[in-house]
Amino acid sequence: RPPLTQTVHVKAHFDYDPEEDLYIPCRELGMSFQKGDILHVISQSDPNWWQAYRDGEEDQSLAGLIPSRSFQQHREAMRQTVVGDNNNKEKTKKGKLLCAKKHQKKKKKKMLYPSYNEDFDSEEILTYEDVALYYPRANCKRPIVLIGPPNIGRHELRQKLMEDRERFAAAIPHTSRAKRDSELNGQDYHFISRQEFENDILQRKFVEHGEYEKAYYGTSIKAIQVVVNSGKICVLNLHPLSLKILKSSDLKPFVVFVAPPSLEKLRQKKQRQGETVKDEELKETIEKAREMEEHGSLNGFLLPGLLMNSDRYCSVSMVPNNPPLRFPQTRGSSIS
Ligand code: 5GP
C-alpha cells in the first residue's frame, strides 16, 4: 500500500488503549479508540504508527498515535498463530489421528475451490475499514453490484435489469484492443492504448480488469460515475475483490449477493435451459456460494443491512445477506 498523500477516514474494527500497548514509542502521544469509531487519519508516513483524530474531535485535541494497519495486522496474525499453536497442541493431546484427519479434510476443500479460497486467504485481517464521506446528491442513484458464484444466472439477471433502459445502464468499459469498424469510441468501449491501460491500472482507476486475447478490458470508476451522474442506476457484475476498491470510493453501491437456489431447483433451472450439468458441479456451485458468504462476512464485505457509521459516514459494504436476496429463476425477477 503506497503512502497516502490525502487524508483518509477509517472505521476501527478493534478497541485500542495506548496504556496497554507495550510497543507504542510514546504512550502520552497515543490515542485510544473503540471498535466502530470513525478515525480521521492525517498521516501514514510512518509504516507502524499513524496520526489520527477521532472523527469530530479535530478542533478539540491534538492528533494522536494509533497503530498502522500493517502493524496491527501483523500483531493480530502473531496472536492468531499463538492461539492456533495452542489449539494444535490441545488436538495433539486428544489424538494425532483426529487432527490429521481434520487437516486432510481442510486441504481437500481448499483444492476443490481454489479461486475463492485463494482470494480470501490472502485477504487482510480486518483492522481498519476504509470509509468515504458521502454526500447524497439529488438525482444520483447508487450503483447495484451483483456478486455471487458463477453460472447461476447473475449475468442474465443483469441483462434483465438493463432491459429497462430508462432506469438502468452499464458502465462503458475500456479496452486496449483495436476498434472494429462498426464500433464507436465512447459508446461500445473507451479505446485506449495498452500503455495507457497499464498506467490506469497502476493509478487504481479500474474496479475490475482482465485480459482476453492479448487485450485488456476493464471497468473504470469514472465510467461508473458517468452513469451515476446521468441519474441512472449502474448495474455491475463483480468479483468480491473489486468491492475493496469500491469501498474507498464515494460510489456507495448496494451490493447484492445472488445466492443459488436449492440443488433441486438449480438442477431444474439447468434442465430448462437445456444444459446438462453434473450434480457434482451444481453442489460445487452451492458450496462456493456458501464459502463466499462465510468468508465475505468474516472480512467485512457482506454485512447485513445498512451500516451507518455516523451521520456523515457510511460504509459502502451494505449487503442485505441476512437472509441473502435469492433469485432462483432469472425470468421474472426484479429489483425494485
Ligand atoms: P469483445 O472484444 O469481443 O468486445 O469482447 C471480448 C471479451 O471481453 C468478452 O468475453 C467480454 O466479456 C470481455 N469484456 C468486455 N468488457 C469487459 C470488461 O469491462 N471487463 C472485463 N474483465 N472483460 C470484459
**What CATH code is carried by the domain that includes residue 19?**
2.30.30.40
Q: What separation in Å is there between the alpha carbon of 294 and the centre of ligand 1?
A: 29
Ligand 1 atom closest to Cα of 210?
22
Predicted pLDDT of residue 217: 96
The protein residue with its alpha carbon nearest to ligand 1, atom 9, reads 212
Could you tell me if the CB of 239 is within 6 A of ligand 1? no
More confident residue, 290 or 210: 210
> Residues with Cβ < 8 Å from 100, sequence gap 6 or more?
none
14 and 149 both lie in a single domain = no
Q: Structurally, how many domains does the chain consist of?
A: 2
Domain end among 30, 48, 67: 67
pLDDT at 93: 54
Pair 144, 226 in one domain = yes
Q: Which of 67, 82, 100 is the last residue of a domain?
A: 67
The yes/no answer to whether this complex scores an ipTM above 0.95 is yes
Residue 141's Cα: distance from chain center in Å?
A: 20
- SS3 category, 17: coil
pLDDT at position 130: 79
State mean pLDDT over 101-117: 35
Query: Does the structure show a pLDDT above 50 at 298?
Result: no
**Do 275 and 166 belong together in one domain?**
yes
Could you tell me where the DSSP H helices lie in the chain? Answer: 69-94, 96-112, 114-121, 154-162, 194-202, 221-229, 242-247, 263-272, 279-298
Greater confidence, 154 or 132? 154
- The verdict on residue 119 lying in a domain is no
| Number of residues that make up the chain | 336
The continuous run of DSSP H or E covering 258 comes out as: none
Q: Are residues 195 and 53 in the same domain?
A: no
Domain annotation covers residue 102: no
CA angle 272, 158, 227 (to 5 degrees): 165
For ligand 1, the distance from its centroid to the CA atom of residue 238, given in whole angstroms, is: 13
Q: Which domain holds residue 35?
A: 8-67
**Residue 137 and residue 32 share a domain:** no
- C-alpha–C-alpha distance, residues 191 and 183, integer Å: 10
pLDDT band at 34 (very low <50, low <70, confident <90, very high): very high
| pLDDT tops 50 at residue 116 | no
- The span from the CA of 254 to the CA of 246, in Å, is 11
The average pLDDT across 244-270 equals 82
Q: Is the pLDDT higher at 324 or at 212?
A: 212
**What Å distances lie between residue 14 and 36, 66, 127, CA to CA?**
8, 12, 6
Residue with cell 475451490: 113
d(CA 326, CA 155): 14
pLDDT at 67: 97
**Distance separating alpha carbons of residues 69 and 50, to the nearest angstrom:** 9
DSSP-based three-state secondary structure for 297: helix
Q: Within 13 Å of residue 110, how many CA atoms lie on the same side as its CB?
A: 10
Q: Percent of the chain beyond pLDDT 90?
A: 40
CA 107, 113, 115, 121 dihedral sign is: negative
Hey, what's the cell of 258?
445472488
Tell me, what DSSP letter sits at residue 312? S
Same domain, yes or no: 190 and 305? yes
Average pLDDT, the chain: 76
Mutate to test the pocket of ligand 1, among 176, 177, 212 (most ligand atoms within 8 A of CB): 212
User: Greater confidence, 293 or 122?
Assistant: 293
C-alpha of 97 from chain center: 38
Query: Among 257, 299, 303, 291, which residue's Cα sits nearest to residue 117?
Result: 291
Q: What is the pLDDT of residues 170-206, one digit of tens each?
A: 999 999 999 999 999 999 999 999 999 999 999 999 9
C-beta of 56 in contact with ligand 1 (< 6 A): no
User: Hey, what's the cell of 220?
Assistant: 473504470
The pLDDT, as a whole number, for residue 228 is 93
The amino acid sitting at 220 is: S
Residues 310 and 230 in one domain: yes
Clarify whether residues 147 and 288 are in a common domain: yes
Q: Are residues 207 and 298 in the same domain?
A: yes
**123 falls within a domain:** no
- 32-36, 132-136, 256-260, 262-266: least confident range: 132-136
User: What's the one-letter identity of residue 199?
Assistant: N
What is the DSSP code (8-state) at residue 181?
T
Mean pLDDT to the nearest integer, 286-314 = 52
Q: Which cell is 299 given?
A: 472480512
Q: How confident is the model at residue 291 (pLDDT cuts 50, 70, 90)?
A: confident
Q: Among residues 163, 335, 90, 130, which one has the least CA distance to residue 250?
A: 130
Does 31 lie in the same domain as 174? no
Per-residue model confidence as pLDDT tens digits over 52-91: 999 888 888 789 999 999 999 999 888 877 766 666 665 5
Pair (275, 179) in one structural domain: yes
Residues 151, 59, single domain; the answer is no
Does the pLDDT of residue 157 top 70, yes or no? yes
Q: Measured from the CB, is residue 182 less than 6 Å from ligand 1? A: no
Q: How far are the Cα atoms of 134, 193, 291 from residue 106, in angstroms, in the given order?
A: 41, 44, 13
Q: The domain spanning residue 148 has which CATH number?
A: 3.40.50.300
Neighbours of 275 (CB within 10 A): 9
So what's the pLDDT on residue 322? 34
